[in-house]
Structure 1
Amino acid sequence: MIYIDKVNKSFGNDLVLQSMSCHIERYTPTVILGPSGAGKSTLLRCINGLVSVDSGQVAVDNVTLSRDPKKLREFRKSIGMIFQQFNLIKRISVLENVLCGRLAYTSLFQSLLTKFTNADYELACQYLDKVGLYEKRFQKAGQLSGGQQQRVGIARALVQRPKVLLADEPVASLDPKTALVILDLLTKISEEEKISLVLTLHSVELAMQYSKKIIGLTQGKIIAQYDTNKTSADEICSVYDHEEVVNL
């Protein structure tokens, strides 16, 4: 489903990803786990082309990530992205924020005028209802709570009709109770919509609860890959101090 082959990425003199290779199977909820600065967010951004790799290849469904702007735009249609800080335009309505997820399907002229079809509006309302925010669709996004704003971010990603949903620390800014609600929602929707879900997290407990596979990163390297049904929390905690490659 997602193939990452010998990927390297640097920012200046800082080597963030080092000869990284792995694959993520279709419909297998996967968590990329590791300490701050391990390269988790960069890896996600390389998968959807927000960050270009220095060398190596990234492919989704046998389609290789391209540097060509037109091909990259088409590639990104199939990959939804959810951000830690929500990345909403807080001065516009919830509905308008969700409709931003349809921009990849509009012409440049329509995008500049932010014109959407009736089908786009229906789809946005459908997903707002699915995340429990239909009644707040005309409210400004900045007036919502953190958990509600993240629900808007989820709906915005879903209107792309993605094959893959990437979530970068989606609950890091939320309280523990709300975090569980959001993760429950993400896993439920990914199962119902048959979307492959890939998350970055810090918590070993949450990683075990919400994934079938865990990829452990440290200092830009994959040091472990775990099947959560065949390992323990203590073994997974070794991601935070282990330096040897482990496959369990």
Structure 2
Amino acid sequence: MKKFYNSLNFNHLHPLPLLQHWLSASLPCPLCAAPAQKQPSLLLAPLCSDCATALPWYGSQRCPQCALPTTGGAYCGLCLQHPPAFDRTLVPLRYAYPLDRLLQQFKYHQQLPLGKLLARTLLPQLTTLALAERPEVMLAMPMHPQRVRQRGFNHALELARHLQSAWQMPLEIAGCARILDTQSQAGMDVKTRARNLRGAFATQQQWQGKHVLIVDDVMTTGASMHALAKVLKRAGAGRITALVIARTLKTGDD
């Protein structure tokens, strides 16, 4: 009997990924509650095919540094006049409906499984980046400990962990900290955001010319990314790439 079971060669099976695959295919769509049968692809499961298509994919040419729309993909005037400390921004989606709903469920309603779905939208961006210049280390946008206690988790770190698992890139968890619990930046203009973030981040390590990939959910003005990148470059980082799920655009921009 033992020889019979050994001959079946079950050793190559990995039950946990198979179970996760089955669960993803069985869950209803979190946006429209469509049954799992409407999900022909597991790439963006558990979204149904209609909701996956309805996501606000960002297809326009954009400034390579801040990702705002520009003609021919040229650098925008703001980045030419006042370059941010980060060197490049990669983003697959615009911050608009229904993505805003997914992000709110993920961040504020403990819908952690959506983190894996959202991280999947970033994988093609990483593939594109690897063809040009692969970063040496990944870093999640830090959150102040008080905010982590209130929310229960750092959403950017959850996204980065999913990406690290899929991409096998080193993830630096304690490389940088948010030492000031700044006010919410909703409704602030660019200058006010910059003042609000002064001294917000700190790092105790030397980054020694490394290319650092910073993961976050949304870029609105880029003030947080700029403040963090500035600290890292002062500590020796050579290049900073921002990888975010969505970019906030002005009304009428695509």
How does the TM-score come out when normalised to structure 2? Answer: 0.31
Higher gyration radius (CA): 2
* Greater relative contact order, per chain length (Cα 8 Å cut-off, separation 6+): 1
